[in-house]
Chains A and B, each alone.
Chain A
Amino acid sequence: MSRDSTAPIVKQFDILWNSRHELAKQVQAEGKKIFGCIYSHVPEELIHAAGIIPIQIVESNEDTDYAKGSQEIDIYHCDFVRSCLGQGLNGTYQYLDGVVFAHSCETMRILGSLWELLVQTPFFFWYTPLIKKTEAARQFYREQLRELKSRLEEFCGHGISDEALRVSIEIYNENKSLINRLYRLKQVGLPLDAHDYCVIVRAGLVISKEHHNRLLRKLLEVDFSPYEEPSTKPRIMLSYFNFEHCMSDKLSIGKILEEELGARIVADDLASGRRYFSRPIDIQGDPMEALVEGYLGSVPISFKQTLEDEITRISSEAVQSKAKGVIILFPKYCTDFMYQLPSIESKLRRLGMRTLVIETTEQMPIGQLRTRLGAFVEALTK
């Protein structure tokens, strides 16, 4: 079974990603509001239930945006934040009706602070995710959600019913379920490579979940026969934050590893991918309580996850997928993750896995990267 069967559908996802801003403006022209969010801590379901389309603000890979952002942020911060701010200042996200930023790391606080002052999107909410699941934390999180709900209702001029929230949670849960199903089928032969998988997943960040679900269902109707991959291909897990550094017009790490170097990516925990989509919300009972339980202490991003949980997550994924090596890609200057990295690497080595750590930037030299990836894959085949 070749990729010809899936390629046309994958292309649709790619087109959506590349025309994300035009699409958003089209949706607005139809009367919907659009909010920008960053990373997985923001309870998008609540925003969706208000009748607003939440989209993720993502890196643009455009030099002009990095340059603009760098005028306001020192170089000792990740490219992601500089690009996002640059786009805000350049007017790329001028159409946003609001933003909800979560305190997912120190650099996010810088982005949030500067966005509030310089971009001045009409609605701004600073969201505090928590790690602990104590009663005090639950109560805080509950009240914070209520505050966000109240602000959204005031902004939109109408209430958010429990029923609307339940429906939104179900839509988001379906999205997570479809992506997870896709991920599992990919492991057993659905003709998608790592690059295609990322193309599909990332589109879901910038369009409505309903739209993404329709396309995913279509993709999963493709007929294929499960097959066993030849065992000679070195099995690699990718642990990475920003796919924008790993797949752009200039570079696709997935393609390099699978098409050029003959490896097989058997697992990934992309921050905007599996980590973002992997946690369905259990909506028995009160939907606001469901959000509390679903988000509190559950979002696997470095700053808001304990070291122990981070080590367990990455290592158990690597073991389950029978990876021989783990490639860890994280944005340069991501200090929260850098504190955890030595412990994570140590654990993976104790489990008998090789590791390759790459600090990614938008400007990283691709030739050198190819060489490092090539050497790593070669080492795995010995």
Chain B
Amino acid sequence: MDRQTSDSQMTNVVELRRKHVRQFYEQASTAHKQGIPLVWICAGSHDEVIHSVGAFPTFRPASQAAVAARRGTSLHYCDVAHEHGYSSDLCSYVRNIIGMVFDGKDPYGPIPRPDLIIIDSAICDAVCKGWEPIAAYYGVPTFRVESQIRFIDNPQKYIMEWKVAELMDEVRFLETNIGGKFEFDRLKALMALEARTCELIGKIQEYRKHIPCPVDPNEMSSSVFYQANLPATEMAFEYFTAFLKAVEQNTRQGKGAATEERYRLLYDGIPIWYDLDLYEYLKERGAVIVWETYSNLEWMGYYFDGIRINPSKPLESLAMKYFYGHNYVSLRVNLERFRRAVAEWKCDGVIQLHNKSCKVYDLGSVMKARMFRELGVPTLVIDADHCDPSGYDPGFTRNMIDSFLEILEGKKGNK
């Protein structure tokens, strides 16, 4: 197949994603018109559990925050949050959500009101605390799933039992508050589908080890939409199947994300959602992000610890997904993962985002930079927020990147 076909395959992948995004938001925004309750969930909440109780649409406003940033409206939402007393030191995802709630609008139109809210601390603490005033504002039934950070190599039996019990409490809460009935077989089927999707994601990530890297980093970041919102759906399976096919095609043709790949980069942090053009800027200079933390939140356990979804034990599998995810392990565990990522994806350099409003991703940034230095891999630190563009200078960032790439070029010359 020729290069043009390969390009058009990737174009199809992008179009498919856009179609799914539209469908997803339409489901949420029309739920009430159809008399269906809408569940608001935060990052880390388990859609699978919700869908095992019934086909209730879910709405994850953090994704809206990323959309707002891309469209240039996130600053407005941050300002609204600020007017209501929320400090600019707080997570900009949450500030955007708070701003949308008080504004009554999200980037697509009137914000659909929740009938139920599920909060989960699996991704970070900020999410839990930030959602409390939102839940209080709407005054709807709210359920909180608690989690534990993993400092040890393997969670003990009592921790797994607790997490499974928490998820069953969530099930009972859903049944009580929005009707529907939990079906264990339905959950098993959802997890089986998610397992197949995870395999596809795993393969795509493995392909990124190829030189040149055949996977577009911008699309990889965008694919987080599925992992966050639609992990156990036919839509996700369809998308990653198409994505993998395009990647396999690129690999056969020796086609990389950049026209001429010169530098392979690891990106540590949340994407700068209001400046995704950075990916293109890097690619134009032969720099390709071949591994990043953000698209790998839950896949980390899959790859580094061999964690696999066992559909016959769906609740345990869900618990493991988060126990081994990026955000819920100690720095010691993360450092080892970064060490392996640099080696296995053959990274020449690291871009590290220092993000005032995200403590989770900031964990151990100094130690990480030191480790990368010891591995002989230069690190560029960019100070930027993920969804709040105030104070961000794209020109300055590009200047820094130019200097960084010169350093990488120099290192290549010295080899």
Contact = CB atoms under 8 A, between A and B. Distances in A.
Interface of A: 71-74, 76-77, 103, 105-107, 109-110, 112-114, 116-118, 126, 128, 130-132, 134-137, 139-140, 143-144, 147, 302-303, 306-308, 332-333, 335-336, 338-343, 345-346
A45 B343 CA distance: 46
A76 B89 contact: yes
Given A112-B330, A139-B158, A307-B132, A74 B366 contact: yes
Contacts of B126: 106, 335-336, 339
B90 A339 contact: yes
B332 A76 contact: no
Contacts of A135: 165
Nearest to A110: B363
Contact of A110 (B166, B356, B362): B362
* Main secondary structure on B side of the interface with A: helix
A110 B357 CA distance: 14
A177 to B, nearest CB: 31
Contacts of B406: none
Contact of A109 (B90, B149, B161): B149
B364 A110 contact: yes
Nearest to B156: A147
Given A74-B365, A139-B161, A335-B129, A117 B144 contact: no
Contact of B149 (A126, A140, A335): A126
A113 B148 contact: no
25 contacts: A77-B359, A77-B362, A103-B148, A106-B125, A114-B331, A114-B364, A117-B332, A126-B330, A130-B146, A136-B165, A137-B146, A139-B162, A140-B161, A147-B158, A303-B125, A333-B89, A335-B87, A335-B89, A335-B126, A335-B359, A338-B87, A340-B132, A342-B84, A343-B133, A346-B85
B307 interface: no
A73 B148 CA distance: 22
A132 B330 CA distance: 23
Nearest to B145: A132
Nearest to A338: B87
B180 to A, nearest CB: 21
Contacts of A109: 149, 330, 363
Nearest to A104: B125
Q: Closest 3 CB pairs between A and B? A: A342-B85, A136-B165, A113-B331
* Main secondary structure on A side of the interface with B: helix
A308 B149 CA distance: 25
Contacts of A131: 144, 146
B169 A136 contact: yes
A338 B89 contact: yes
A345 B84 CA distance: 11
Interface in B340-361: 354, 356-357, 359-360
A302 B129 contact: yes
Contacts of A71: 366
A261 to B, nearest CB: 26
Given A303-B129, A338-B90, A134 B169 contact: yes
A76, A105, A116 — which one has the most chain B CB atoms within 10 A of its CB?
A76
A346 B86 CA distance: 12
B136 A343 contact: yes
B91 interface: yes
Interface of B: 84-87, 89-91, 94, 124-126, 128-130, 132-133, 136, 144, 146, 148-149, 151, 156, 158-159, 161-162, 165-166, 168-169, 330-332, 335, 354, 356-357, 359-360, 362-367
Contacts of A132: 144, 146
A302 B363 CA distance: 20
Nearest to A74: B362
B284 to A, nearest CB: 30
Given A126-B149, A131-B146, A339-B90, A76 B85 contact: no
B136 A336 contact: no
A144 B158 contact: yes
Contacts of A341: 85, 87
A137 B162 contact: yes
Given A116-B330, A342-B133, A139 B165 contact: yes
Nearest to B95: A339
B86 A72 contact: no
Contacts of B331: 110, 113-114, 116-117
A307 B133 contact: yes
B15 to A, nearest CB: 38
A105 B89 CA distance: 15
Given A76-B362, A335-B89, 18 more contacts: A76-B357, A103-B149, A109-B363, A113-B332, A128-B148, A132-B146, A139-B162, A143-B162, A147-B156, A303-B129, A307-B136, A308-B136, A335-B125, A335-B126, A336-B126, A339-B90, A341-B85, A343-B132
Contact of A140 (B129, B158, B359, B362): B158
A110 B366 CA distance: 11
Contacts of B136: 307-308, 343
Contact of A114 (B128, B146, B148, B367): B367
Contacts of B169: 134, 136
Contacts of A333: 89
A2 to B, nearest CB: 43
A76 B92 CA distance: 14
A77 B354 CA distance: 12
A104 B353 CA distance: 25
B12 to A, nearest CB: 40
A176 B130 CA distance: 32
A277 to B, nearest CB: 25
Given A72-B367, A339-B132, A140 B162 contact: yes
Contacts of B85: 341-342, 345-346
Contacts of B359: 76-77, 106-107, 110, 335
A31 B210 CA distance: 60
A206 to B, nearest CB: 26
B146 A342 contact: no
A335 B129 CA distance: 9
